Amino acid sequence: MKWSWSAFGTQFEEPSGILELMRDLGEALAGGDPDLCMLGGGNPAPIPEVEALFREQWQTLARDPSRLDAVLGKYDTAQGSPVFLEALAAYLNAKYDWGIGPENIGITNGSQTAFFYLFNLLAGGGKKILLPLSPEYIGYADQGHGPGMFRAVHGRLEETGPHRFKYRMDRAALEIGDDVAAIAVSRPTNPTGNVLTNDEIQTLSDLALAHEIPLLIDNAYGAPFPGILFREVKPVWAPHIILSMSLSKLGLPGVRTGIIVADRPVIEMLTSVNAVAGLANGNVGQALVGPLLGDGRLDALCREAIRPFYAERSQRAAAVWEEALGDSVPWMRHEAEGSMFHWIRFPGLPVKSAELYQILKRKGVLVVPGHFFFYGLDRDPPEKHECLRVHTAMNPEMTAKGIDIIARTVRGLNWSG
């Protein structure tokens, strides 16, 4: 039967990058191919210390039947667990002296859901979300109810060394018209691993404050947790900033727990949307992580296990790229300053990245083609069809094998035209 969908429903009939990504990941995982090089997606890597701590937390919870029954068998408030909200506010104040209370924190069913709510609460109907550093996260691209919600500014490409580059925010191109409802950025930036400097964040904060619009910062990989940062930065919050955090990259993607730190009216609005859309949020993630906030265990986990793990995997993958590609073809790798990805550009690539993605998939390597990350721009940049996002943090042997297949495949293309 062919249903007649609403305008809202019709939007989801269209293909999207995030749907293709999640479908490929799901099929790959279901297939169980041991030889598949899983270099796509954003699933956190299995880290023994992380898994051990959360198993221990689960066992502690299970030994307290009344608490376990409450976590599994009762709805919490639409804002989140009061115990968790109190603990998180105290934790953030102790670290950063933000002066927030539980009323400044709301829980959602993952940070992806939070951004879907926030973008559509703030923009639409001609109002825009400004993305000041493109390329930007694939998961935002199709979240607007209706077309044309995003306006993006392409980053300035700065070469930083042999086969290396970095996108810099083009401050001169940041125009805040009456149609801009909010500014949004990820830090570290997914897909490139770019980390906006403290000065760049201050520039965006000042712009937002001057134009009386919010600045949304997606902090899914950032400080204080999970802390997948390879350079020191200062987390910021103020009443005009909406800061998103997540438990996913800590190693708990299955509990779907997003965290929003914002001014009280924003939290009240999100709480209302939560109640209407889903009654309440999951309890498990809050119950597992809450006890770790006050005794230093969470900070130690991030400092001693999570950050070093991802830094080492990134450095190891960087060495493999150099060995596998050398100077055989034109290529560049974005400076890996955070997250779990390498962003690779092949200037003059003889085929589009979408076609290269399909070729690699047939060879048993899953990556993410880069064109999905360039949206909201007035015109396509030269590298739109020349880039791949590559997950570098899984099994090192499989990562090296996948990079080698990518290198041999690219070298085998007809570069002479």
- The alpha-helical segments, DSSP class H, found in 248-389 are 264-278, 284-293, 297-301, 307-325, 353-362
- The DSSP-derived string for 187-245 is SS-TTT-----HHHHHHHHHHHHHHT--EEEE-TT-TTTT--BSS-------TTEEEEE
The residues facing 127 across adjacent strands are 124
3-state secondary structure of 182: strand
Residues 364, 304: Cα–Cα separation, whole Å: 33
Condensed to tens digits (0 to 9), the pLDDT of residues 179-208 reads 999 999 999 999 999 999 999 999 999 999
For residues 200 and 265, membership in a common domain is answered with: yes
CATH number at 216 reads 3.40.640.10
- Please tell me the predicted confidence (pLDDT) of residue 1: 62
Query: Does residue 98 contact residue 243 with C-beta atoms inside 8 Å?
Result: no
Q: Structural domain of residue 247, as residue ranges?
A: 76-295
The pTM score is 0.93
Q: Whole-number mean pLDDT of the chain?
A: 92
**Are 89 and 128 found together in one domain?**
yes
Q: Given 278, 295, 312, which residue is the final one in a domain? A: 295
Q: Are residues 245 and 161 part of one domain?
A: yes
The answer to whether the beta carbons of residues 110 and 256 sit under 8 Å apart is yes
Q: Is the pLDDT of residue 310 over 90?
A: yes
What is the CATH number for 44?
Answer: 3.90.1150.10
Number of domains in the chain: 2
Whole-angstrom Cα distance, residue 414 to residue 87? 58
> First CA to last CA across the chain, in angstroms?
48
Residues 288 and 305 in one domain: no
Distance between CA atoms of residues 136 and 124, nearest Å: 19
Q: Are residues 184 and 259 in the same domain?
A: yes
Say whether both 236 and 126 belong to one domain. Answer: yes
Q: Are residues 239 and 306 in the same domain?
A: no
388 DSSP β-pair partners: 344, 369
Count of Cβ atoms closer than 10 Å to residue 414 Cβ: 7
124 & 273 share domain: yes
Same domain for 262 and 396, yes or no, is no
- Whether 2 has a pLDDT exceeding 90, the answer reads no
* Structure confidence at residue 124 (pLDDT): 84
Last residue of a domain, one of 295, 322, 340: 295
**Residue 141 and residue 17 in contact, taking contact as beta carbons nearer than 8 Å:** yes
Confidence bin at 4 (pLDDT 50/70/90):
confident
| pLDDT band at 28; cut points 50, 70, 90 | low
Residue 56 lies in a domain: no
Domain stops at, among 265, 295, 325: 295
Identity of the residue numbered 296: G
Q: For residue 379, what pLDDT is reported?
A: 93
As given in the structure block, the two tokens for residue 73 are 């068998």
